[in-house]
Amino acid sequence: MKAIGLKTSLPIDNPESLIEFEREKPAPAKDDLLVKVQAVSVNPVDYKVRQQSARNEVLAAPKILGWDAAGVVEQVGEQVALFAPGDEVFYAGDINRAGSNAAYQVVDARIVGRKPRSLSFAEAAAAPLTGLTAWEAIFDRLAIQPGQGQAKSVLVIGGAGGVGSMAIQLLKQLTSLSVIATASRPASSDWCREMGADAVVDHRSLAKDLQASGHAFVDYILNFVSTDQYWEAMGEVVAPQGRICSIVPPEKEVDLALLFRKSVSFSWELMFTRAIFQTEDMTRQHHILNELADLYDQGRLKPTLTRVLYGFTADNFKKAHAQLESHATIGKLVVDFQSRA
């Protein structure tokens, strides 16, 4: 089968940064699905793994990236009861296994959901990683309960990105919180408001803009950009006994004591944790994805797809990586394996 991957870590403008190659079609293990991939979304994790996973070495076999996909189940493992051949599915997968940038992929059925009927494969491929990350950050890490939040506020740092776009929508649809998003450009500010943000503030003057918007403090903070860059600002604007969740590990030490006087709780969110450690609640991701699918089919969530590259080629993946590395992407970018008619 055809696949796209890397043998060594190279700048994306190098012709060998991502290569097309042939490998044997995989077979599902007892808990797996074999999925014929139709479309994949490209995320920051893709270029970060490309840049870091094979520094100063050449891999014996190419590493397949890709952790966001939609496709059709072709075969199921002997212990799988959640799906059957022919089912349309979407999922983010497991960072420790071969990724979705391949004609076929095996993935644990417990972290797969039914594809929303109302979405195309391209639209569905844009949803799993960001949807799971936002859902887990809001409801598992910050411990916000659906329907909760009257007279309280949440700050979404990086509201126009893929995860921010999903978080804003979930917060507006499933909680009563006042949602404030950060953005710095007119286009990204407009996008945040389209997703449902009640207010948009400039991340470069965070405390000042929050004050002007009537929020001296915010009860919750979701940081989807940089922990280093916003650490001190978050410590300043979070309310006493507030909660902060971040998805980006710091590149340098941060001073946890900054949160001490306010008794602030801090937590990390990594969407891959359940799959990496095979946690007892691993099937929760299956249920979250199905809830997301229901919300899409009810018209309560909008697709966050903003750009589609048609054709399963290394060149398209190089274009996608280059776009994400520009740090100017709004919403999600998808490679549709079908060539445009």
| Distance separating alpha carbons of residues 107 and 137, to the nearest angstrom | 23
Residue 146 confidence class, pLDDT cut points 50, 70, 90: confident
Structure tokens at 203: 């991340």
For residue 341, pLDDT beyond 80? no
CB 154 within 8 A of CB 177: yes
pLDDT in tens, 244-290: 999 999 988 899 999 999 999 999 999 999 999 999 999 999 999 99
For residue 109, pLDDT beyond 60? yes
Amino acid identity of residue 56, one-letter, is: N
Measuring CA to CA, which residue among 165, 238, 246 is closest to residue 207? 238
Give the predicted TM-score (pTM) of the model.
Answer: 0.95
Torsion 203-237-181-210 (CA) sign: negative
Other C-beta atoms closer than 10 Å to the C-beta of 151 total 8
What is the rounded average pLDDT of the residues 185-202? 95
Higher local confidence (pLDDT), 105 or 340: 105
First to last CA, the chain: 23
- Percentage of the chain beyond pLDDT 90 is 89
Least-confidence region, from 144-148, 291-295, 301-305: 144-148
Higher local confidence (pLDDT), 141 or 215: 141
- Complete domains list, the chain, with CATH: 2-127+273-336 (3.90.180.10), 130-268 (3.40.50.720)
pLDDT of residue 4: 98
Structure tokens at 35: 């999925």
- Whole-number mean pLDDT of the chain? 95
Other C-beta atoms closer than 10 Å to the C-beta of 278 total 11
What is the rounded average pLDDT of the residues 123-150? 95
Q: How far is CA 301 from the centre of its chain?
A: 15
The CA distances from residue 136 to 133, 284, 328, in Å, are 5, 10, 25
